[in-house]
Amino acid sequence: MKDLSTGTRPVNLILLGPPGAGKGTQAAMLQEAFGLVQLSTGDLLRGAVAAGTEAGLAAKAVMERGDLVSDDIVLAILQDRLADPDCANGVIFDGFPRTIAQADALGELLARTGRILDVVLELQVEDGALVKRILNRAKEAAAAGQPARADDNEDTLVQRLKAYNAQTAPLIDYYAARGTLTSIPAMGEITEIAGQLNAIVGGLTRA
C-alpha cells in the first residue's frame, strides 16, 4: 500500500552476506535514507544478553563461540520486534535469516502479516577481507573507548565464517530460485556500495 503523504510504499528486504561484509553499516545507511527499520538479530540478541533475559542467558555462550543461536530463540525475538508499529514502514533484515529453516519461517511470518519480501541483497566479499574488517572493527571500538564485541576476535571469526558457509550460504540459491536475489560486489568503498543499494531500494519504494 502506498503512503499517500510521501508517495512511497514500504519495502522489506534482506541484507545477506558473511560476517564483516558490511551489512550493519549499509543497513544503517538505508534506514537513514528511506526510513526503513534496521532489524538486526545480532543487535537484538546482544540486547537480550545485556538485559540478562532468559533468551539472552541461553544465547550468550553460543554467540561467544561463534555458533548460531537456536532458531526458536531467534524467531521469538524477531517476531516480537516485527510487531512494533514502526516496522510497518518497511524493514531491513540484517543478519536474518541465517538458516533455511529461518527463511521458511520468515516467509510464513511475512505472509501471515500481509507483507512482501521485495528483494534479497547479497553483499559479496572475499574471505581474506572479512578477517581484516572484523579485526579492524574491534580496534576501532577500542580506540573509541567502546567495549569490543565478545565475538570480534580471530578465533571466533573462523567459527562464524564456518557457520556462514555451512548454514547461511545455501540461502543464496534459495532466494535465487525464488527470483528475489540481487548480488552486489561489496569489496569497494562504503559510499560506492551504498550508492548502488540506494538506487535499488529507491526504485522499489517508488514502484
Residue nearest to ligand AMP (CB): 42
Tell me which amino acid residue 170 is: P
Q: Would you count residue 21 as binding ligand AMP (CB under 6 A)?
A: no
Can 178 be counted among the known catalytic residues?
A: no
Cell of 8: 512511497
| Interatomic CA distance for residues 155 and 196, integer angstroms | 33
| Interatomic CA distance for residues 35 and 95, integer angstroms | 19
**CA-CA-CA-CA dihedral for 123, 129, 135, 140, to nearest 10:** -70
Cell of 112: 501471515
Can 112 be counted among the known catalytic residues?
A: no
Cβ nearer to ligand AMP, comparing 90 with 97: 97
Can 149 be counted among the known catalytic residues?
A: yes
Query: Based on C-alpha coordinates, what's the Rg of the chain?
Result: 17
Shortest reach from residue 128's CB to ligand AMP, in Å: 18
Name the nearest CA neighbour of 42 among 125, 132, 174, 137. Answer: 137
Cβ nearer to ligand AMP, comparing 78 with 205: 78
Q: Would you count residue 42 as binding ligand AMP (CB under 6 A)?
A: yes
Can 137 be counted among the known catalytic residues?
A: yes
Contact code string over 88-107 relative to ligand AMP, x by CB under 6 A: -------xx-x---x-----
**Site of interaction with ligand AMP (CB under 6 A):** 19, 40-42, 45, 62-63, 66-69, 74, 95-96, 98, 102, 151, 160
Enzyme catalytic residues = 23, 98, 137, 149, 160
